[in-house]
């Protein structure tokens, strides 16, 4: 079992990640919120990997394949909804309103 400090991730590393992604300036709130989101996602992946390992008959060993399965199946359990601008109804409404102009 890995024992971690109160911090899930290094705040410095998170800030560097944001800067490498293109951010010129990064607020402390942004770093802290990204830390919380990363911890939430890590917890979600870990819980799914544990389920895959148990399904494979392994109670105590999580393998690389279990982690990879969480990624390959992520699209099936995605909680994100499409923006209204991408929905067919919204697109048809926009086309109809543009025709009256």
Per-residue pLDDT tens for 22-75? Answer: 999 999 999 999 999 999 999 999 999 999 999 999 989 999 999 999 987 765
Handedness of CA 84, 40, 71, 28 (dihedral sign): positive
What contacts 45, CB < 8 A, 6 or more positions away?
67, 70, 71
Task: With respect to residue 2, please indicate whether it lies within any of the assigned structural domains.
Answer: no
Domain that residue 15 falls in: 11-99
Task: With respect to residue 85, please indicate whether it lies within any of the assigned structural domains.
Answer: yes
Q: What is the CATH number of the domain that holds 28?
A: 1.10.20.10
Number of domains comprising the chain: 1
3-state secondary structure of 29: helix
C-alpha 3/C-alpha 69 separation (Å) is 25
Task: With respect to residue 58, please indicate whether it lies within any of the assigned structural domains.
Answer: yes
Task: With respect to residue 48, please indicate whether it lies within any of the assigned structural domains.
Answer: yes
Task: Tell whether pTM > 0.85.
Answer: no
């Amino acid at each position: 079992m890995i024992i971690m400090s109160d911090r899930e991730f290094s705040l410095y590393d998170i800030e560097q990640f944001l800067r490498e992604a293109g951010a010129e300036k990064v607020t402390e709130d942004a770093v802290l919120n990204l830390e919380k989101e990363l911890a939430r996602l890590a917890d979600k992946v870990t819980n799914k990997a544990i389920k895959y390992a148990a399904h494979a008959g392994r109670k105590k060993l999580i393998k690389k394949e279990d982690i990879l399965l969480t990624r390959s199946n992520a699209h099936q359990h995605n909680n994100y909804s499409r923006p209204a601008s991408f929905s067919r109804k919204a697109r048809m409404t926009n086309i109809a309103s543009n025709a009256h102009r």
